[in-house]
């Protein structure tokens, strides 16, 4: 896409776009989530499940575990150890953010009532000076800001600010908005230029402060966010045995070459750094984050888009350290990666960011919740050698359990993160600029928006994507002038995608299919993406994947599950012939020719002859299904990358 920097004047609170990120400058302008309606299809269905099941599910669990009650106790001046972990407050805030988005999306109703009731309990716990945290600063509690490394106070505050910003863009005079402003002012007082020169162990407040600055027009919050980003990487945090890299406190953001350390921290920080860079016109900082994104995607990202190779420190690994079985690929890192890529997409307009968003949404964010929206994966490995056991239904599960989705976790950041993402998903579908509309993600639904000059666009989008490759965009409005409709062509589709605006199908080599004209009501533009299954080979530098192949189909990564294998075979014993073709059964089942083996000598796993190795003993068609749905049918072994069988 063209990259032109459009500077836009800051919006006052009463004139906000209602969408997750509202930069005052950048190449692309986000659409308001009001402007995009999802109607069924892959994402529309998930948004409804989120509204009807997940939000109440989160509310029920956090009430039951006393995490919400922590606020009531602080409001009453009661003391005692709070329920849950040191970041429990943030889960209530992320749920509030999700409720704010859902309330606006669905036009009020239960979500609005739930938001108001829950936020009232939060606001009641705020201290007169604006401080708000249920674990620190009260009688018999540890004093405020005495454990910046692990206390998560500013992290929690950041999530409150994000919830308030989501609300403010639709309901500016909400009490939570006022509370957030008081909290942000307090943070600026304590940590400002003349205050304490430190940062929070877990980044998050940075992007939240910028968003609050955008929402309120108050530059003080942007300045504070700038300070926090500048201070990071100066070794101000003392993690003991935990290396500074874990907190991204090892290298200044603008000097770093690649994302490293705790993945969610690194991605939230990067998103905040982009926000700071965009608002300050700091192209050096922006380009530094772009380079880090490039290097991270090139060598530290799973095929699913997942990030975080290590359970240890929930962290990125070294370059090309991408084991399948030990992949951490936290759901929250997927959410955070979408947040970062979206900001970079708005800033510069490059399709590669939307490509990664699509990959991550379909293969990480959509993988976490089950189809009922009431149990979740926290980590998203690409292989499970044991089927594992059912997760506990009546108590929180350990966070890194991964054989089965669990209703709730002791550290339960992922369910509420999925909830806020799905509730605000309309904001990530398309953008606009003076020249027209850019559609980045393919959904079933409706878009109605005004270009900057007032040109009105209304259209519907119909597709069976990702299970079918046809996307039909039909106009419901008459153009008063020519403009450009841009349709993203995913990297795997380039050279094979076609677009047809009625004048015949045209092959698209580049990363967007564009149609420039005045569009009339009833006119349809058809995009055709080749979604047949395809083999994908790993970079030879990835030790964990050597001599393996994966199968992708459109934007979906496929996997083999033991539950689909005949004869009690284990996924560990599978191999596939990568030279052959595929058979498809129905819309979402693919098979590939393969073999089963029985591998290895007994007693010692290293031998002097390769013939002590795997012996292929049976031919079979290996059934493959979308990774996002794995584990839905009970405990199962699973693997994405399959060893290549030699005929």
Q: Does 312 bind its own copies (CB under 8 A)?
A: yes
- Asked whether 180 and 161 are in contact (CB, 8 A), the reply is yes
- Residue list 563-582, contact with its own copies (CB under 8 A): 572
Cα-to-chain-centroid distance, residue 305: 10
Q: Before 466, cis peptide (omega within 30)?
A: yes
Binding-site size for its own copies (CB under 8 A) equals: 65
**Shortest approach of its own copies to residue 454 CB, angstroms?**
39
Which of 194, 284, 394, 602 is the binder for its own copies (CB under 8 A)? 602
Q: Which CB sits closer to its own copies, 244 or 620?
A: 244
**Shortest approach of its own copies to residue 544 CB, angstroms?**
6
Which residues fall within 8 angstroms of residue 170, CB to CB, at 6 or more apart?
16, 18, 100, 103, 104
**Shortest approach of its own copies to residue 532 CB, angstroms?**
12
**Shortest approach of its own copies to residue 543 CB, angstroms?**
6
Which of 298, 393, 505, 617 is the binder for its own copies (CB under 8 A)? 298
Helix axes 351-360, 331-348, angle to 10 degrees: 160
| Distance of alpha carbon 403 from alpha carbon 385, whole angstroms | 9
Q: Does 117 bind its own copies (CB under 8 A)?
A: no
- Residue list 408-467, contact with its own copies (CB under 8 A): 410-411
Q: Which CB sits closer to its own copies, 495 or 502?
A: 495
Of 287, 224, 225, 210, the C-alpha closest to 256 is 287
Which of 103, 351, 367, 383 is the binder for its own copies (CB under 8 A)? 383
530 phi and psi angles, rounded to 5 deg = -80, 100
**Shortest approach of its own copies to residue 263 CB, angstroms?**
14
Which of 324, 417, 424, 449 is the binder for its own copies (CB under 8 A)? 324
Q: Which CB sits closer to its own copies, 241 or 284?
A: 241
Q: What's the half-sphere exposure (Cβ side, CA atoms, 13 Å) at 348?
A: 15
Q: Does 398 bind its own copies (CB under 8 A)?
A: yes
**Shortest approach of its own copies to residue 617 CB, angstroms?**
13
Stretch of 28-36, 199-207, 316-324, 419-427 lying at the interface with its own copies (CB under 8 A): 316-324
Which of 5, 283, 318, 482 is the binder for its own copies (CB under 8 A)? 318
Give me 240's structure tokens: 């003991």
Q: Does 610 bind its own copies (CB under 8 A)?
A: yes
Q: Does 150 bind its own copies (CB under 8 A)?
A: no
DSSP 8-state symbol, 601: -
Q: Does 643 bind its own copies (CB under 8 A)?
A: yes
- Helix/strand/coil (H/E/C) assignment for every residue in 72-117: HHHHCCCCCCCCCCCCHHHHHHHHHHHHHHHHHHHCCHHHHHHHHH
- Residue list 512-551, contact with its own copies (CB under 8 A): 534-548, 550
- CA quadruple 634, 638, 640, 645: dihedral positive or negative? negative
Burial degree of 241 (CB within 10 A; 0-12, 13-18, 19+): exposed
Question: Burial letters for 188-207: b for 16+ Cβ neighbours within 10 Å, e otherwise?
Answer: bebbeeeeeebbbbbbbbbb
| Distance of alpha carbon 276 from alpha carbon 270, whole angstroms | 10
* Per-residue contact flags (x/-) with its own copies for residues 326 to 355, judged by CB under 8 A: x-------------------------x---
**Shortest approach of its own copies to residue 583 CB, angstroms?**
19
Taking the CA atoms of residue 221, residue 265, residue 168 and residue 47 in that order, the dihedral angle to the nearest 10 degrees is: 170
**Shortest approach of its own copies to residue 220 CB, angstroms?**
38
Which of 241, 255, 394, 453 is the binder for its own copies (CB under 8 A)? 241
Q: Does 609 bind its own copies (CB under 8 A)?
A: yes
**Shortest approach of its own copies to residue 371 CB, angstroms?**
27
| Distance of alpha carbon 94 from alpha carbon 334, whole angstroms | 16
* Per-residue contact flags (x/-) with its own copies for residues 264 to 293, judged by CB under 8 A: ------------------------------
Burial degree of 185 (CB within 10 A; 0-12, 13-18, 19+): middle
Q: Does 492 bind its own copies (CB under 8 A)?
A: yes
Question: Burial letters for 149-182: b for 16+ Cβ neighbours within 10 Å, e otherwise?
Answer: bebbbbbbbbbbbbbbbbbbbbbbebbbbebbbb
Stretch of 35-43, 128-136, 144-152, 299-307 lying at the interface with its own copies (CB under 8 A): 299-307
**Contact set with its own copies (CB under 8 A):** 241, 243, 294, 297-299, 301, 303, 310-312, 317-326, 352, 383, 385-386, 398-399, 410-411, 491-492, 534-548, 550, 572, 597, 599-610, 612-614, 643
């Amino acid at each position: 896409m063209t990259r032109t920097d459009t500077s836009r004047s800051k919006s006052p609170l009463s004139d906000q776009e209602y969408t997750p990120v509202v930069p005052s400058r950048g190449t692309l302008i986000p659409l308001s989530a009001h402007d995009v309606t999802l109607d069924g299809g892959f994402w529309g269905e998930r948004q409804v499940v989120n509204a009807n099941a997940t939000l109440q599910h989160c509310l029920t669990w956090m009430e039951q575990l006393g995490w919400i009650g922590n606020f009531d106790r602080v409001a009453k001046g009661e003391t005692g150890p709070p329920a849950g972990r040191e970041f429990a407050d943030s889960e209530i805030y992320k749920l509030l953010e999700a409720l704010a988005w859902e309330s606006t999306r669905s036009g009020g109703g239960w979500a609005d009532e739930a938001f108001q009731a829950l936020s009232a309990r939060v606001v009641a716990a705020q201290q007169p000076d604006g401080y708000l945290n249920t674990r620190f600063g009260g009688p018999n509690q540890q004093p405020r800001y005495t454990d910046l490394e692990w206390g998560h106070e500013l992290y929690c505050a950041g999530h409150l600010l994000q919830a308030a910003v989501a609300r403010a863009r639709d309901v500016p005079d909400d009490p939570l908005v006022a509370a957030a402003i008081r909290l942000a002012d307090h943070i600026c007082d304590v940590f400002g230029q003349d205050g304490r020169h430190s940062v929070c162990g877990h980044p998050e407040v940075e992007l939240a402060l910028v968003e609050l600055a955008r929402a309120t027009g108050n530059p003080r919050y942007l300045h504070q966010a700038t300070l926090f980003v500048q201070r990071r990487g100066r070794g101000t945090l003392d993690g003991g045995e935990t290396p500074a890299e874990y907190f991204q406190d090892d290298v200044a953001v603008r000097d770093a070459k690649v994302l490293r350390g705790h993945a969610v921290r690194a991605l939230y920080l990067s998103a905040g750094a982009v926000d700071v860079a965009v608002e300050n016109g700091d192209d050096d900082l922006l380009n530094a984050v772009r380079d880090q994104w490039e290097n991270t995607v090139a060598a530290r990202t799973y095929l699913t888009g997942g990030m975080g190779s290590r359970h240890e420190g929930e962290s990125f690994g070294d370059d090309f350290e991408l084991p399948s079985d030990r992949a951490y690929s936290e759901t929250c890192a997927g959410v955070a990666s979408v947040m970062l890529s979206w900001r970079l997409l708005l800033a510069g307009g490059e399709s590669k960011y939307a490509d990664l968003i699509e990959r991550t949404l379909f293969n990480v964010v959509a993988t976490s919740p089950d189809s009922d929206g009431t149990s979740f994966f926290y980590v998203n490995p690409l292989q499970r050698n044991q089927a594992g056991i059912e997760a506990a239904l009546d108590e929180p599960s350990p966070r890194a359990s991964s054989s089965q989705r669990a209703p709730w976790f002791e550290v339960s950041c992922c369910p509420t993160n999925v909830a806020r993402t799905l509730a605000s998903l309309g904001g990530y579908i398309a953008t606009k600029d003076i020249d027209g509309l850019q559609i980045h993600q393919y959904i079933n639904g409706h878009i109605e928006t005004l270009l900057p000059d007032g040109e009105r666009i209304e259209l519907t989008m119909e597709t069976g994507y990702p299970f079918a490759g046809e996307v039909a965009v039909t106009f419901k409005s008459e153009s008063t002038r020519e403009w450009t409709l841009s349709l993203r062509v995913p990297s795997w589709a380039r050279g094979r995608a076609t677009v047809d605006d009625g004048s015949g199908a045209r092959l698209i080599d580049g990363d967007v299919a564009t149609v420039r004209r005045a569009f009339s009501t009833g006119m349809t533009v058809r995009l055709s993406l080749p979604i047949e299954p395809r083999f994908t080979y790993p970079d030879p530098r990835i030790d964990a994947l050597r001599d393996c192949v994966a199968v992708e189909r459109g934007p979906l990564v496929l996997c083999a599950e033991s539950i689909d294998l005949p004869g009690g075979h284990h996924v560990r014993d599978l191999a596939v012939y990568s030279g052959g073709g595929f058979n498809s059964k129905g819309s979402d089942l693919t098979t590939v020719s393969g073999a089963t083996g029985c591998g290895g000598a007994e007693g010692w796993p290293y031998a002097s002859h390769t013939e002590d190795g795997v012996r292929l003993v049976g031919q079979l068609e290996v059934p493959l299904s979308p990774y996002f749905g794995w584990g839905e049918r009970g405990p199962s072994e699973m693997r994405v990358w399959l060893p290549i069988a030699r005929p």
